[in-house]
Amino acid sequence: MGVAVARQLLVRSLRQNSMHHVLAGCVSVVGFVLHNAADGKAFEEAGRTLYRNRNRSKRTIRPAILQWDSDAAIRRTQEKDLGKTLAGNDHVIAFASSADEFPLTFRLAADGILSLPVADLSVLKTASKAIGIRGLPDDILAIAVGEPLSLLSILIKPGRSMLHIERSLRRVKKDQLARSSQRRSSVATMPSLADLHGLGEAAVWGRELAKDLDDYRAGRLPWADVDRGVLVSGPTGTGKTTFAQALARTCRVPVHIHSLARWQAAGYLNDLLKAMRRAFRDAILDAPSILFVDEIDAFGDRETLEGKNEQYTREVINAFLECLDGVDGREGVVVVGATNLPEKIDKAIQRPGRLGKHVKISLPDLDARVGILRHHLRGDCVSADLADIASRLEGASGAVIEQVVRDARRKARSERRPMAFADLLHGLPVRIVQSDEAFHEACIHEAGHAMVGYLLAELSGSRLVESHVCREVGLDGSGGRTIMRQIPGRNLGRAAYLAQITILLAGLAAEEFVFGHYADGGGGSEDSDLRQATLIATTMEISLGLGESLVYLTSRRSGDVLGNLRRSPSLQRIVARTLDDCFQRAKGIINERIVGLRRIARLLNESGQASVGDIERALGPAQ
């Protein structure tokens, strides 16, 4: 049964993403993101049967199946043979727990990386018929929605009597109810906000909420004065779900964890809406409580809806808004929405009274990374200085840091001994030591950002904080960063935005001025200098009225802005001129202050970092 369900989900995902050529047996490379890593074996087996040979005169297609393991050593072995696998096979199917786990080589070769849908009741009914099981009542089969595929293979299989299948599923239902009743007691085992590190403003808001809920329970504060909803955003792995659990522990209330995908698993639209309303009703019965809705961007934005699913999505969003408002104001329920993409959320969801507060969880800084390591070490390596380990984890999320500790424990267990500090080195992400030439280029690049950022700070409306360069870099090649912080309370005009673009392009400009060319470090990623500069220049033209006309074409959401840019050659020419003018401006500033640039680069080369004070001493007062 599990394999039959997996096959149905593979086919549904391909069809929903208009990738019918894969099912037709055309040459293809496709990746699938698993919701549950434990289902990997079932999906691997289903992938081998994905291409059915309907015409016996045609050859049988046997695709190459890959699954990316989180274990670092296994991943390195897999990636070493990846090029050979892709070159030698016309049909490649791969699985991973997240899109980020697919290697860059695979992502470049793939026709697509698809998220697998959740197995709803219709999928289970189709799969059960495919293996010859008919007549199982919908209300009994619905119990299996959301259960691991391995369990479905055990409970629902050909040759087993309908009575035994029904009894087994009823026992699963009983276990579900037992787990639900334990939800309150499980809060006590969760970490509190005081146990976590790197949450920043989210932790501050959470502690204030805990005080307000105490006053609400004591009758000192009316519910109308409590923050009833918050949107938590941040990169993948920064701990948004963990934050919700820690918030519940700190506030001493139960937490109900849900997502749109979980509600969709209930079946068709009416079933989805029932599941959504039931989730809010259960939270209200548990009040005061926290209702956590993960990946809230999955609801979509009514302003951008189009196509055959428009009405469906609109009804789902409207129903969610009704639940957020509540007939009686959902008194006692704090809704926490989490997302990696806050710009894709419908504005009505973020209205005050719903999820009106927005807090961000950033990637942890050095002190926070040390704290996260200490938290997960749980008393191991107490006397060890973790600063070096933490510095080598720059740019890592809390989830990655937790994985490092988990890998260290696994290594110690496999060798039948207590964990040692050296085991932490085993789980660190692979780092590459830059050559002297590459390191010098990185120092010049960051010196360009630092110098131009310092000189244009007032004009750009942002302050230079610090600049640093790493001798060791990650596999993505990122080895340096210059941090600028926006000055609050400033209205920014055209000159300010052009100054920001100039600062962003100053790294490449410094490379070209000193070496006669620049390398590829300024582009290629979502947070690259070129993407940010292009986004600002385009936003000026089509959203802010700060370009060649006052025409408003779209909001300043990055997807909308870049979508307009891709479709308009004339807009591309205007943006290209703006970028080139700012690039030449940065080169001009560097030409005038070349001695200062070399001083900053030398400081970065010697110590790896430069504060704003160091840069001021190298250049003198900003002009």
- Among 143-152, 261-270, 531-540, whose mean pLDDT is lowest? 143-152
* Residue 56 confidence (pLDDT): 45
Beta bridge partners of 232: 338, 359
Q: Are 398 and 447 members of one domain?
A: no
- Tell me whether the omega of the peptide bond preceding residue 288 falls within 30 degrees of 0, making it cis: yes
The predicted structure's pLDDT at residue 476:
53
Based on the fold, state whether residues 101 and 243 are members of the same structural domain: no
pLDDT at 72 over 50: no
Do 584 and 514 lie in one domain? The reply is yes
**489 vs 206, residue with greater confidence:** 206
How would residue 312 be classed by pLDDT, with cut points 50, 70 and 90? confident
- pLDDT at residue 2, rounded to an integer: 83
Residue 623: per-residue pLDDT: 46
Tell me how far apart the 2 most distant CA atoms of the chain are, in Å.
Answer: 85
94 is in which domain, residue-wise?
1-181
Q: How many domains does the chain have?
A: 4
201 and 158 part of one domain? no
Helices (H) and strands (E) counted in the chain, each on its own, are 28, 14
| pLDDT above 90 coverage of the chain, percent | 24
> Domain end: 399, 426, 453, which one?
426
Tell me whether residue 177 is exposed, middle or buried, using C-beta atoms within 10 angstroms of its C-beta: 0 to 12, 13 to 18, 19 or more: exposed
Cβ 152 vs Cβ 45: under 8 Å: no
pLDDT reported for residue 459: 93
Q: What is the mean pLDDT of residues 464-471?
A: 85
Q: How confident is the model at residue 217 (pLDDT cuts 50, 70, 90)?
A: confident
pLDDT digits (tens, 9 = 90+) for 422-452: 888 877 776 677 888 888 999 999 999 999 9
Q: Is 377 found in the same domain as 242?
A: no
- Same-domain check for residues 350 and 236: yes
Distance CA 164, CA 386 (A): 55
Q: Determine the pLDDT at residue 537.
A: 96
Residues 174 and 188 in one domain: no
Establish if 395 belongs to a structural domain: yes
Q: Is the pLDDT of residue 207 over 80?
A: yes
Domain presence at residue 16: yes
pLDDT digits (tens, 9 = 90+) for 5-24: 888 889 988 888 888 888 88
DSSP state at residue 608:
S
55 part of a folded domain: yes
> Of 130, 148, 181, which residue sits at a domain end?
181
Instruction: Please spell the DSSP secondary structure of 567-592, one letter per residue.
Output: H-HHHHHHHHHHHHHHHHHHHHHHHH
SS (H, E, C) 286-306: CCCEEEEEECHHHHCCHHHCC
* 134 and 24 in a common domain: yes
Task: Work out the pLDDT band at 73, boundaries 50, 70, 90.
Answer: very low
Tell me what pLDDT residue 30 has.
92
Q: What is the model's pLDDT at position 78?
A: 58
**308 and 197 share one domain:** yes
DSSP string, 342-375: GGGS-GGGGSTTSS-EEEE-PPP-HHHHHHHHHH
- pLDDT attached to residue 448: 95
Whether 431 is in a domain gets the answer no
pLDDT of residue 591: 94
d(C-alpha 505, C-alpha 495), whole Å: 15
Residues 40 and 140 in one domain: yes
For residue 279, what are its two tokens? 């989730």
Q: Residue 219 domain-assigned? A: yes
Which of residues 343, 360, 377 is at a domain's end? 360
The pLDDT of residue 38: 73
**Segment among 77-81, 161-165, 229-233, 247-251 with least mean pLDDT:** 77-81
- Identify the pLDDT of residue 586: 96
pTM of the full structure? 0.56
Highest-scoring range by mean pLDDT, 164-168, 398-402, 579-583: 579-583
Inter-residue contact 500 to 507 (CB < 8 Å): no
- What CATH number is given to the structural domain containing 420? 1.10.8.60
CATH assignment of the domain containing 330: 3.40.50.300
Residue 315 has pLDDT above 80, yes or no: yes
Residues 608 and 562 in one domain: yes
- Strands of 289-294's sheet, edge to edge? 255-259, 289-294, 333-339, 229-233, 357-360
Question: Would you say residue 368 has pLDDT above 60?
Answer: yes
Mean pLDDT along residues 583-604: 94
Q: Share the mean pLDDT of the chain.
A: 84
- 137 & 1 share domain: yes
